[in-house]
Amino acid sequence: MKKTVTVSKVIPILDKYGYKYMKTTGNHNVYKNDDVDSQIVIPSTDRIISQSTLASIKRHIVSNGVASNETFERDLDLAM
């Protein structure tokens, strides 16, 4: 089932995983986790995040060992 996720729902999850706001570039905000040297780019306005962007965020978080796939999915469900 596809989730409809907005930017405002993702920001607290990024914060929980140690990603802090770094800068705005064009229409996007960059969040960085210095512990794992990882950056995630999300839209700067509170709008729906595309499924491909959501998949990219999950890949960054899981591949850097910040959280497991199951933990990320659970946190996303809780944010909804």
CA separation for the pair 66, 30 (Å, rounded) = 17
pLDDT tens for 8-46 read: 999 999 999 999 999 999 999 999 999 999 999 999 999
Topology of 5-79 in CATH? Metal Transport, Frataxin; Chain A (3.30.920)
| pLDDT, position 4 | 86
The b-or-e profile of 22-47 (16+ CB within 10 A means b, else e) is eeeeeeebebbbeeeebebbbbeeee
pTM over 0.85: yes
What are the residue ranges spanned by the domains of the chain? 5-79
| Pair of tokens at residue 13 | 């999850």
